[in-house]
Each structure stands twice: as structure tokens, then as C-alpha cells.
A and B are shown apart, each in its own frame.
Chain A
């Protein structure tokens, strides 16, 4: 810790910082905890989709306070979350109904509370106005996320026609729980997937094989631990040089360690052989391993370019190809899950990271392209895009710059590796069948990468 950093975090420093507007960031609710206050459900029409989904989540709900225009209305006590069923909203005029339930809730929601809007996506043949409204909801969601305080977040879920409460339950559960702590201002889609009806699971991955690359430390180790907590049998993969940390992670979670350079030609075959030896197939393949070789483009030579693009993008394409061969022993199971790890740097571009941005934006493109082709096998393909996450890697960024990065999002803090891990855990939940081809940012609504 530098002298400047020590001074900043000293009691005097904290007071000065608070005066300067750099208040201590809110402590986020994490894990499987639901909001403490009551859940409020606001249906903006006859739809009972969200109501029936909440029944599967297993939570009671209350009626909303509606702003009728006389005086600024409010909730007596703080509420835990407002969930709006806006699936019947398709006209500009109907947006007023949304405003009327949001206004009291934005003021009344507790710390780390939730605003969740469930709506229909555009492009579904509802006409020009319906598509405009669908997009308007995105603008509302992003703005509400920026106005909320105390670690509360806002999320928009586009539910496609035909999706059932069973298709929606894992998503609604994830967003309500602390697992989604660092997912803010985001919108993604849930499609009909004939998901078997079941309540929200505590250990959704029980006994399933999940392969995590780059698992020796940082975000990868957090993914391995989180998936093991959810019941997964984890195959922890990392380069042989990282074997000591990898063994420690594998032993801690009762998984197995597989020392492997993912860029090797036989990497996919070796992963499959390891799983086949256990007489299993892969439920989830999480391509987390990644490297950086940052330089401004004027200084980026072919070696720096090639190494990053190969490790972060090409290697997982080669591995996927091997694991997706239907007759491959130890390959992907039907109803399996593939996860790529993108990055807000990739989505927004970042000075000095052309190679990294190419690879990470490429991951986003890859999952979107793969998803429809694998739908017939029930395999979903998604990506998470972490923003500023507190790891050994980001701890090396100079203090002032790090503090700026940390606070450049709606939650005024860096995320934890577990936040990325929890999002992946949600996406690979067997109940998340209807979520595919999505890129979910885990960035606290970072100012860049929107």
C-alpha cells in the first residue's frame, strides 16, 4: 500500500474524502440472501407471469404504492424490491403506469434492494410503437440504475412470448438474491425453453461436472469455489506453471486439478479424456483463462497480438469444437452450458488493449453466434463481461487510477471475483435453459462499455 493510499484510508483521510464527495461505498448484499424488506409486485396489465414465477421463487409479495399525482407518495418502511410485470406494456401511453410505480419505489427501496422490470422484447411483430417502447424501457432501466443509491440495482428482463414461469424462475431468483450484487443497469433475454417446473434450487449443480479454466487464482478460483458450493464437481484447469495454486483450489473444493496449456493442440482432447475417465460428460465448460499483453497499438507486435488472441479467443474455439463433437467421450452433455468471459474493455474499447479488446469482443460475438446453432441440443452459450473486479491483477494498478476505476460505476466500488462467479453460476443453472446467446455485464453499470 502506498503512502498516499494509507493516508486516504486513515480516519482523517476518510473524513476529508467524505467531504470531497468520495463517500465510503455501500456494502453490497451478496450470496443467496433475498432483500430484507417486502417484495412488491406491480402488474401493469392482466399478466400473471411474474406472480406465478414469484410463487416458484417461494416469496410472498405486496401491492405497490402508485403515484396518483397529488403529493409525493411513499412507502412507510423500506421495501426490499419492486418487481414490475410490464409484459402487457406496448404503447407509449402505458409507460406512465411504469413511472407511477417506479417513483415511490426508487425512494423507498432499501440498501442493496432491487428494481426489476419484466417486459416483452421488441422485434416480435408488435409494430413500430411496441418496439420503441421496448427500447424505451432499456433507457428507463439504465437511468433508474444510475439514480438508485446504497447499492440498490435495476434490471430489465426481456421475456419472450411463450416463456413460462419455469423458464423465468432462475433469472428472477438470481436478480433478487445477493448473487447479482454487481450486475446493475443490465438487460437480457429469457426465451421459452420448456424448462421443467421446479422451485428455485439451493444447489442447482449437484453432481454435475463443470470445467473451469484459469482456476488457480483470482476470478477463476472464485468461480471454482462458487460452483462447488452449488454442488458442482469441478475440474480445475490451469497452465502447469500455476499448478501449486491449482492443487490448493482443487483440494479445497474437493475437485480435480488438470494442469494443461489451453493453447496446446490436444487441450480439448485432454479435457475430454479427464472427464471420460470419470465416466461422465461435461455439464458446463467455463472458458475463464485469459491474459493481457497491454501496449498501445503503435507498439503492439505480432507476438503480443498473437498470444492474447490465441489464449483468450482461439483456444476456446478449438476446445469447443472438440467437446461439441456429439460422439466425443467426456464431451459436452446435451443440455450443457458453455460460458465465455468477455470484458467491458472489449465491449467499449480500452487504450493500450487492442489485442485484448479484439479477443474479448470476439468472445461476445462467439457466444451470440453459437447459441442458435446449439439450441437443438439444449446447450446454451453465454458470456459474462466483468468490469473492474478487485483481484491481484487490478491491485497492481497505481492507487489513484485504481480508485478512479473503482468509482466509475453506479455502485461506486470494484466488484468481487465472486460476483462474476455467481453470474456464471446462474447462467449454467440447469433451470436457465431459456437464457442463451446473452452477454451479461458484471460491472456495477460501469460508465464505459454500455
Chain B
């Protein structure tokens, strides 16, 4: 009972900086737009797809049943079931594996994996004391009781609480964690700025050659990734002030991902279903692996994918040399550089229980159409952005081409997957 699972298409809306053109759009709106673009491209209007798995990291209480509600708003048949999943920044890759595994097991013949996040429309909570007072007032049975409850409100209770992208167990933000990793692995400012500039230049080149014509659908009059700076350069990036790691820090707004808004979706199916629906399979999902590190004990928060990569390659009997293209999510430029350094580090890899160093990567095979530094990183959408992008790139290279996706996530977690062109 193991069916081949193929990626047959994808769609996302252009990603944009938080507070930008999508400031008034909700997770629901953006996820619906991503689904509708995919449905239009693949001709599935009114069709029932096996299941849609989606999610968002920053969720409102009214994002209840987010994915199912987006399906109902979309052009898909209302008889298409859906569920929400969440694994921080790896959500879009985890939804891909959820759908792929169900297809592999024969439970589905098709499915859509998706993710959306709005950092603009982030939920703002009231303080805990105020929340308790309001709940007490709502339980009150008389006006007197209600007045008594409201009388307890103090000015300090009224300040709203914006969501923090901080690790609950360390109190450090993701950037602060990564600053520790950057120092520990000796990643230089120059290397980070070079990687960031390359991300922008490669993304711009891909847009220019029409690579995204069948991967992106415009939304709210935005036709291209709004964070993209085609004319940026190492020199310009070098002028930016450090954002993390104190005055001597090497991480800047230019080599760290911006808070972003966006949504992405990818269509997975059996080969038979793809043929019936006149869709060209781009690549098959080969395998995937998840891993976690003990960051509260001091391990590098965003290097969990290293262990997952080593274990996955070993299980598949593959080495770095057997993989044609790599997609390492650019949470920060230094995350990618530290990941590559860790792959080459014999001792570090052995400490993860691997047989030895994973290997050295030729950077020409890495993030060839740019990645999150240039595209943006709406948390849950990134995995569902990368999967069809890589699948199409592999398809262009020809059957048998292999690609590896590595995505780090909050909580010291990581998800890694291998695709192979069909």
C-alpha cells in the first residue's frame, strides 16, 4: 500500500512586507486567494479535492477552522474536506507531508497543502487581568455584579499585548537566538550580506525569465514579490546597522527575513489522478524527516534540520553529491551559512548521532531562484512556496533530478524533505 505521490502544481500570492499592501487582508482572505489561483491554473473549479491541509502560525480566534472556511470561500467544491495544522515556520512543509503521506497510504488520491500568515493582521490580546475581569463581568447575573467586576479595571490592564516572536522557554527572540548561533559558528557579516544579495538577484532573474508565471497569481494589485530588491548589492547591505547581537552584531534587517504577509498552496496527487485531470507531474515526494534540538539547554535553535538531513540522506542511501538542488529556508542568512558549516563539521554531526559529516555544498546548487530573504517569509506559507518551486526546477532539469528542502522552525525544530523529478 504505497502509492507514488507527485507534485503537479502550485500557487501563491506575491509575498509582501507586513503592514504593506496586504495590511487589511486576513489569513482567510490570502489563503482563499492562493487556493483560487491554484484551482484556476489546474482547472479544478467546482471539483472535489481529497483534502486540503493548511495552517497559520499567527492565528486569531476567528481563524477557527481556517482552512475549511477558506475552502468554502474558494472555487473548490464545498464537499472538499480540510484541516488545520501548525508547526511554526515549517507548517507549509508539514502540511505537504501530511497530504503526501495520506496519498502514499492510499487514503487520498489528491490533496492540497497550504499555509498562510499575516504579520500585519496579527492578533492583539488584552492583558490577562483584564481578560479575567471581562470574563467575570460576562458571568455576572446582575447589573450590580457587573459594575463590581468592571470597577476592578486599572489603567495598566488596558495596554494591548502584541504577539512576540519569542521562545517561551528562553525568552529570547528568534533573532537573538540566531545571533548566538552566528557567533558560535563564526559566520561573518560579509558572508551573510553576500548570501542576501544573491537571494535577491536570483529571485529577480527568475521573475524576469517568467519562471513564476505558473507559480504565482497576483493579489490586491500586487503582481510581484514586494520585498524583492533587484538592485541591492553587497555594498548597500554592508551599510545597514546591526539588528541582532548588540552593537558588534553581524545580523541586519538586510540579511534577516522581514515580517511578511502571504499564502501559498501546492497540489499533490497520485500519478493516475494527475493523468485523469490532464496535469503534468513535476516531481515525486521521496521522503521526509523531522528533528528537534534542546535549545533550552543551549543548543542552536535553528539548526535542527541538520540532524534531520543527515538521517534522511542515510535512510535513502544518498549523499550531498546525489542531490542536484537544495532549498534551505533563509530564516536569516546566517542560519543557512551555519547550517552549511554544520554539515561539514565531523564532530558536530557525530554529536547528532550521524556517522560523520554530511558534506560540503556547492553554493551554485543552493536556492537557485532565491529564497525567503528576497521573497519574504509568511511563516506557514514558506514550505508550500518552496515545494512547487523546487518541483518545477527539478522538472526543468529532467527526470531523476533530486532536490532537498530544509526548513527550520521555532521550538528548535526542523523538517527536511527530498523530491525527485518524474
- Residues on A close to B: CB < 8 A? 236, 240-244, 246-248, 250-261, 264, 277-279
A252 to B46, CA, bound (A): 9
The answer to whether residues A240 and B36 also contact, given A257-B41, A279-B278 and a CB cut-off of 8 A, is: no
Q: B255: shortest Cβ distance to chain A, in Å?
A: 29
A260 to B280, CA, bound (A): 18
- Residues on B close to A: CB < 8 A? 33, 36-37, 39-43, 45-46, 75, 210, 212-214, 216-221, 223, 278-280
Residue of A nearest to B223 (CB): A241
Select which of A244, A251, A259, A277 is within 8 A of B219 by beta carbon: A244
A97 to B40, CA, bound (A): 56
Q: A318: shortest Cβ distance to chain B, in Å?
A: 16
A257 — which chain B residues lie within 8 A by C-beta?
A: 37, 40-41, 217
Q: Is the CB of B45 within 8 A of A243?
A: no
Q: Is the CB of B217 within 8 A of A277?
A: no
Q: A261: shortest Cβ distance to chain B, in Å?
A: 7
A241 to B213, CA, bound (A): 9
A250 to B38, CA, bound (A): 11
Q: Is the CB of B280 within 8 A of A248?
A: no
A261 — which chain B residues lie within 8 A by C-beta?
A: 210
Residue of A nearest to B37 (CB): A247
A244 — which chain B residues lie within 8 A by C-beta?
A: 33, 37, 217-221
Leading 6 A-B pairs by shortest Cβ distance: A247-B40, A251-B75, A278-B278, A257-B40, A256-B43, A250-B40
The answer to whether residues A256 and B42 also contact, given A243-B223, A277-B280 and a CB cut-off of 8 A, is: yes
B280 — which chain A residues lie within 8 A by C-beta?
A: 277
A240 to B207, CA, bound (A): 11
Residue of B nearest to A260 (CB): B213
A252 — which chain B residues lie within 8 A by C-beta?
A: 45, 75
Q: Is the CB of A243 within 8 A of B42?
A: no
Q: B73: shortest Cβ distance to chain A, in Å?
A: 12
A258 to B214, CA, bound (A): 7
B216 — which chain A residues lie within 8 A by C-beta?
A: 240, 243
A250 to B217, CA, bound (A): 13
B43 — which chain A residues lie within 8 A by C-beta?
A: 250, 254-256, 278
The answer to whether residues A251 and B40 also contact, given A243-B218, A259-B217 and a CB cut-off of 8 A, is: yes
The answer to whether residues A240 and B41 also contact, given A248-B36, A277-B280 and a CB cut-off of 8 A, is: no
Q: A234: shortest Cβ distance to chain B, in Å?
A: 10
Q: B36: shortest Cβ distance to chain A, in Å?
A: 5
B210 — which chain A residues lie within 8 A by C-beta?
A: 240, 261, 264
A253 — which chain B residues lie within 8 A by C-beta?
A: 45
Residue of B nearest to A280 (CB): B278
B220 — which chain A residues lie within 8 A by C-beta?
A: 244
Q: A421: shortest Cβ distance to chain B, in Å?
A: 20
B218 — which chain A residues lie within 8 A by C-beta?
A: 240-244
Q: Is the CB of B46 within 8 A of A243?
A: no
21 A-B residue pairs with Cβ-Cβ distance under 8 Å, sorted by A, are: A240-B213, A240-B218, A240-B223, A242-B218, A243-B218, A244-B218, A247-B36, A247-B41, A248-B36, A250-B43, A250-B45, A251-B75, A252-B45, A254-B46, A255-B43, A255-B45, A256-B42, A257-B37, A258-B41, A259-B41, A261-B210
Q: Is the CB of A256 within 8 A of B213?
A: no
A240 — which chain B residues lie within 8 A by C-beta?
A: 210, 212-213, 216, 218, 223
A242 to B37, CA, bound (A): 12
A207 to B72, CA, bound (A): 27
Select which of A243, A277, A278 is within 8 A of B37 by beta carbon: A243
A251 to B279, CA, bound (A): 17
Q: Is the CB of A256 within 8 A of B41?
A: yes
A256 to B41, CA, bound (A): 5
A277 to B395, CA, bound (A): 14
The answer to whether residues A256 and B40 also contact, given A241-B223, A244-B219, A251-B75 and a CB cut-off of 8 A, is: yes
Residue of B nearest to A233 (CB): B43
Residue of B nearest to A244 (CB): B218
Known: A241-B223, A243-B216, A244-B220. 7 other contacts (CB 8 A): A240-B210, A243-B218, A243-B223, A244-B221, A247-B37, A247-B39, A256-B43
Residue of B nearest to A254 (CB): B45
Q: A280: shortest Cβ distance to chain B, in Å?
A: 8
Q: A217: shortest Cβ distance to chain B, in Å?
A: 13
A246 — which chain B residues lie within 8 A by C-beta?
A: 40, 217
Q: Is the CB of A243 within 8 A of B217?
A: yes
B36 — which chain A residues lie within 8 A by C-beta?
A: 247-248, 251
A97 to B91, CA, bound (A): 80
Q: Is the CB of B40 within 8 A of A277?
A: no
Q: A199: shortest Cβ distance to chain B, in Å?
A: 30
Q: B92: shortest Cβ distance to chain A, in Å?
A: 20
A247 — which chain B residues lie within 8 A by C-beta?
A: 36-37, 39-41, 217
Q: Is the CB of A259 within 8 A of B45?
A: no
B219 — which chain A residues lie within 8 A by C-beta?
A: 244
B39 — which chain A residues lie within 8 A by C-beta?
A: 247, 251
A318 to B156, CA, bound (A): 70
B40 — which chain A residues lie within 8 A by C-beta?
A: 236, 246-248, 250-251, 256-257
Residue of B nearest to A261 (CB): B210
Interface centre among A240, A277, A278 (most CB of B within 10 A): A240
A278 — which chain B residues lie within 8 A by C-beta?
A: 43, 278
A259 to B40, CA, bound (A): 10
A277 — which chain B residues lie within 8 A by C-beta?
A: 278-280
A259 to B37, CA, bound (A): 11
A86 to B276, CA, bound (A): 52
A241 — which chain B residues lie within 8 A by C-beta?
A: 218, 223
A248 to B213, CA, bound (A): 16
Interface centre among B39, B40, B212 (most CB of A within 10 A): B40
Q: Is the CB of A259 within 8 A of B46?
A: no
Residue of B nearest to A279 (CB): B278
B278 — which chain A residues lie within 8 A by C-beta?
A: 277-279
Q: B217: shortest Cβ distance to chain A, in Å?
A: 4
B33 — which chain A residues lie within 8 A by C-beta?
A: 244
Residue of A nearest to B279 (CB): A277
Residue of A nearest to B280 (CB): A277
Select which of B45, B213, B223 is within 8 A of A251 by beta carbon: B45
Residue of A nearest to B11 (CB): A247
A315 to B45, CA, bound (A): 30
A240 to B212, CA, bound (A): 9
A255 to B278, CA, bound (A): 13
